[in-house]
Amino acid sequence: MEITSLFNISGKVAVVTGGSRGIGEMITAGFLANGVKVYISARKAPALIEKARELSEKYNQECIPVPCDLSSMDGIDEFVNQITEKEDAIDFLVNNAGAAWGEPLESFSEKGWDKVMDLNVKSIFFLTQKFKNLLSKNGSDDDPSRVINIGSIDGLNVPSMETYPYGASKAAVHHLTRVLAAKLVKENILVNAIAPGPYPSDMLGPAVGYDYSEIAKRNPRKRVGTPEDMAGLAIFLCSRAGAYTVGETITSDGGIVKTANHDLS
Ligand SMILES: NC(=O)c1ccc[n+]([C@@H]2O[C@H](COP(=O)([O-])OP(=O)(O)OC[C@H]3O[C@@H](n4cnc5c(N)ncnc54)[C@H](OP(=O)(O)O)[C@@H]3O)[C@@H](O)[C@H]2O)c1
């Protein structure tokens, strides 16, 4: 029952897509700081390689960059092949890489629609399919392997911007999480989702000029998310403490979804 046993994840091997910055970097840092070897992916190779070097040095733990574009099947295959050449088994898969696209309804492009759906939904399904064998190698009744899909509160609430496929893609992620959880729980792979609210990143930043103060003011917790908030939840889901949590979509949003329209002050 000690906290060191309940939340211990050291010695595990993780894959975090989109680990070069933002939420993926937060989860990667939390894993590395707690003894997990982490493979991270992103398209921009120089930034990814530099980030892996920086995090390996900071946490004195192996962080391995694997540059690739996960929006196509070729990219997904190449990524899975590269990991399979290096590892016989993996313990955690974090499907984090995602994209958003905004345009007025009247002129919303097919290109924007496909970009969002291909990366946010299709890649999560096929990465999980293709990593299944590596995930099931170490998964046991006592210590199952874990998949965490990064959804969004925009898949639970109606978004305030004209990002039509984004909210739909994230609602799909949450439901795909339940469907995959039902299938994979029998193979000792637990699938859950995290639905973040506002976290500083290159996805959210441009919409607010990288000034998060107004968003923080409107948040029930009066702030945006921090690396500790995100890493802590991911560690819980991957640890002994999270081993009875299956198919859930857990918000990390300061209370936006659960307290909206319930201001009791
Ligand atoms: N930040 C928030 O407030 C927030 C809220 C709710 C949900 N989320 C979700 O959290 C996840 C991470 O978002 P973020 O805010 O951290 O965004 P971000 O800072 O833009 O990071 C996205 C990451 O994904 C990688 N990526 C993008 N397209 C890719 C592709 N085609 N193939 C491989 N990697 C790709 C990026 O690297 P490259 O550009 O080099 O490829 C980067 O590492 C997303 O699923 C997002 O929808 C974020």
Domain residue ranges of the chain, discontinuous segments joined by +: 3-257
CB 224 within 8 A of CB 212: yes
Alpha carbon of 263 to ligand 1 centroid (Å): 32
Of the chain, the end-to-end C-alpha distance in Å amounts to 38
* Mean pLDDT, residues 113-142: 98
What's the pLDDT band for 11 if we cut at 50, 70, 90? Answer: very high
Angle between helices 227-238 and 22-33 (to 10 degrees): 60
Mutation to probe ligand 1, out of 15, 16, 21 (largest number of atoms < 8 A from CB): 21
- Virtual torsion, Cα 228, 252, 148, 207, nearest 10 deg: -90
Q: What percentage of the chain's residues is helix, strand, coil (to nearest 5)?
A: 50, 15, 35
Alpha carbon of 264 to ligand 1 centroid (Å): 35
pTM above 0.95, yes or no: yes
CB 40 within 8 A of CB 66: yes
Which pLDDT score is estimated for 260? 80
pLDDT at 207 over 70: yes
Atom of ligand 1 nearest to the CA of 48: 40
pLDDT at 239 over 70: yes
* Mean pLDDT, residues 46-73: 98
Which pLDDT score is estimated for 152? 98
Q: What percent of the chain has pLDDT over 90?
A: 97
User: What size, in residues, is the chain?
Assistant: 265
The 8-class DSSP code of residue 250 comes to E
Q: Which member of 164, 166, 199, 212 is catalytic?
A: 166
Helix (H) or strand (E) holding 92: strand 92-95
CATH of 3-257, one of 3.40.50.1980, 3.10.580.10, 1.10.287.110, 3.40.50.720: 3.40.50.720
Alpha carbon of 220 to ligand 1 centroid (Å): 24
Q: What are phi and psi of 36, to 5 degrees?
A: -100, 135
* Mean pLDDT, residues 205-228: 95
Which pLDDT score is estimated for 167? 98
Tokens of 45: 């190779």
> What is the Cα–Cα distance from 64 to 36, expressed in whole angstroms?
11
Which pLDDT score is estimated for 263? 67
Would strands 249-252 and 145-150 be described as parallel, antiparallel, or unpaired? unpaired
Per-residue pLDDT reduced to its tens digit, 188-204: 999 999 999 999 999 99
